[in-house]
Amino acid sequence: MRLDRFLCELNQGTRSEVKELIRRGAVTVNGLPAGDPAARVNEETDCVSVRGKKLIYRKFFYYMLNKPAGLISATRDRVSATVMELLRPEHRRPDLFPAGRLDRDTEGFLLLTNDGGLAHRLLSPGKHVDKMYRVSVEHELSPEDLRHLEEGVDIGEDRLTLPAKVLQQEERVILLTLHEGKFHQVKRMLEAVNNKVTALKRISFGGLPLDETLQPGDYRELTEDEVKKLYGT
């Protein structure tokens, strides 16, 4: 790829800023000062440095965010603050996006990535990736409600919801594992058993548990193993 594009992809500045870096002699390729922004570099084999610091090329980025309530899961919005605003400047990239959606008032695991292929795999309706939610409800659920939620309920779609796993945690708190992701699914499922969600947090996604050390609004990169696990789901 072109040297200026390589530098932009590694967050070294805008196209004009990296051109200026090259012009000022701050960039070397395999130890030699680079002069041409259009020069071709091989991202796997060439050694590109900026002010003596070697850049490691990466194509894809993966962040586990503990989404706080109050932000919307979108890359941009004309009115509301989005989850992308939680990224520190050094992690911002125009190609990052939330893989999937949590409602504005939902907290928990949201994957931010620029890997469109993985996002597609995880979100495609036929894929049935596991998502576990901690659901607080208005009224205690009866054994019959729990059974209905597990077996499938009518949320106004063509068919009942797919079988789910339900675990009662406290009197008015359940852990609900879904293998599909319809719009507002958890809230609609609880409405289907005449209840109401009072708080919702996604605590696991694609087999990865939310890192308990992440406070709402914090994020961290996924480890290589975690990325592999998502690919394996």
The residues assigned a catalytic role are 103
Binding of residue 66 to ligand URA (CB under 6 A): no
Given 8, 200, 208, 210, the residue binding ligand URA (CB under 6 A):
200
Min. distance of Cβ 127 from ligand URA in angstroms? 16
Judged by CB under 6 A, the stretch of 11-19, 138-146, 182-190, 220-228 that binds ligand URA is 182-190
- Those residues whose C-beta lies under 8 Å from the C-beta of residue 108, and which sit 6 or more positions away, are 66, 67, 102, 133, 134, 200, 201, 202, 203, 210
Min. distance of Cβ 29 from ligand URA in angstroms? 46
> Quick check: 151 and 106 in contact, CB under 8 A?
no
Binding of residue 64 to ligand URA (CB under 6 A): no
Given 184, 198, 220, 227, the residue binding ligand URA (CB under 6 A):
184
Min. distance of Cβ 56 from ligand URA in angstroms? 35
Helix (H) or strand (E) holding 33: strand 32-33
Structure tokens of 101?
A: 């959606």
Min. distance of Cβ 200 from ligand URA in angstroms? 6
- Those residues whose C-beta lies under 8 Å from the C-beta of residue 204, and which sit 6 or more positions away, are 109, 130, 131, 132, 177, 210
Rounded-to-10 torsion of CA 75, 78, 80, 85: 40
Find the binding residues for ligand URA in span 94-153 (CB under 6 A).
Answer: 102-103, 106
Binding site for ligand URA (CB under 6 A): 102-103, 106, 184-187, 200
